[in-house]
Structure 1
């Protein structure tokens, strides 16, 4: 009996080690962001206010100036039109290199993120902030932020594709800083509440990691082919 128990424990240990990283990935990168989005979405649906939204917006307005206006307008442009161009280039490059699975992952993750954002905006129908007249006015719904969701989707795709290679840390730092800058730009311009940005980030991370898990389930991870 002791030998059987030891053998059983050994088998369980091997299984846990094999699926451990997947379990951790699913929990930290899918379930937690989904929980955060659900919490934000519930309050938005009930039209409840967030204590940090207006103060952060007003703080951003107080710091505004001509050069910051131009800088954040440029970052905001890069976070939408620039993202679209980069997304297309990324998919084309992956296809040209015959990275079929990676191209499928990027395409589904990025296109799906855009469609998901359009649907959730209509679902929550949150009005834009109106604390002041923005220099970049928007007439669509506010939650979740399309700029935040699109940029974070690209950021997550790039990090997952690069992870495990020698480029992982440069990609992580540059991509994360870009995602943060886009979110800050939308708050600075007064066209999104900070909770819109958080909702966009959470939805993007959960969606992209979910697509990654589906596309690469049981297959060779992308970084092994990209070294």
Structure 2
């Protein structure tokens, strides 16, 4: 007796995920509202103010030198090992892999590519904007400073703004940007802000960045998150195009064209269509098709209906008493 297999816990998990809606109704795409526009303008003004303060060697540059001479890694050496591991939360490779794994699971669960596409667009904007600012201003770090009190600009460096801080803001802030509920968005926003500021202060503690680098990196990442709604139409078009290509690849072709005996294309139908078509009637003007030469003309009977005939060359000995079937035997003496 065949019994059905008892579903395991993993089978129940996959069955529940298959019942998830393709696009949850409570998830809305952020729009470039007036409030967001005001925040974007304020963040951009703050970004330009920090750059201007560093260019004119203002009090911000003097604060950078004071923090550098304070040498935090010598003041609190007991937390140096923890900071070395904590600063990894701002490195682009490990953080992108972790966040992409989570967003990939969300994409598979909700049957949408928007989380992964939003992450890709944000990382692309991060590389373009922050990378251009780094190499454009060319500021040297504290370990490579040449003159005390100078802003160290246009000397071939690549630390202004802080890439660790900007990357932490974008990679962890994208989770808040894609949150499903307002409450989750608020909590994730606060968590990403604290994490990114902690990463920036860790670089100041180690001595690889100035304090102004961290402030500018934090604002640079915030600008990318605030500007993402402008790229939502591009993300939607890319998602629709990818799904259209997948549907085109998964759709089986109805027929294939093959060359006929005279070089003309002949459409070969699929097996159900060939079985469903009735045989074509033979025209009355044409003669009926003849049977093959190796078959005798006329109707053929089955093997069970034929009368048994003993072949002439049989090796079986002849018996006079044996009679064919259906005849009466002679009277034995």
Q: Give TM class, smaller chain.
A: 0.7 to 0.9
Q: How does 1:56-205 map to 2 (within 5 A)?
A: 56-57=67-68, 58=70, 60-65=72-77, 67-80=78-91, 81-97=93-109, 98-130=111-143, 141-162=158-179, 164-205=181-222
**Structure 1 position 169, deviation (Å):** 4.1
**Structure 1 position 208, deviation (Å):** 1.8
| Superposition misfits of 4+ residues, deviation over 6 angstroms | none
Specify every segment of 5 or more residues in structure 1 that has no aligned partner in the other structure, as ranges.
Answer: 1-19, 133-138, 220-227
Specify every segment of 5 or more residues in structure 2 that has no aligned partner in the other structure, as ranges.
Answer: 1-30, 146-155, 237-333
Aligned equivalent of 2:36: 25
Which TM-score applies when normalising by structure 2?
Answer: 0.51
Question: Structure 1 residues 172, 207: closer, same or farther in 2, change over 3 A?
Answer: closer
* Residues paired across the two proteins, number: 191
**Structure 1 position 131, deviation (Å):** 8.4
**Structure 1 position 172, deviation (Å):** 3.0
Question: Structure 1 residues 49, 99: closer, same or farther in 2, change over 3 A?
Answer: farther
- More contact order relative to length (CA 8 Å, sep ≥ 6): 1
Query: Distance in 1 between the 2:102 and 2:58 partners?
Result: 39
**Structure 1 position 114, deviation (Å):** 2.4
Query: Distance in 2 between the 1:75 and 1:125 partners?
Result: 26
Which TM-score applies when normalising by structure 1?
Answer: 0.72
More helix by share: 1
Question: Structure 1 residues 62, 122: closer, same or farther in 2, change over 3 A?
Answer: same
Output the aligned Cα RMSD: 2.9
Query: Distance in 2 between the 1:89 and 1:149 partners?
Result: 20
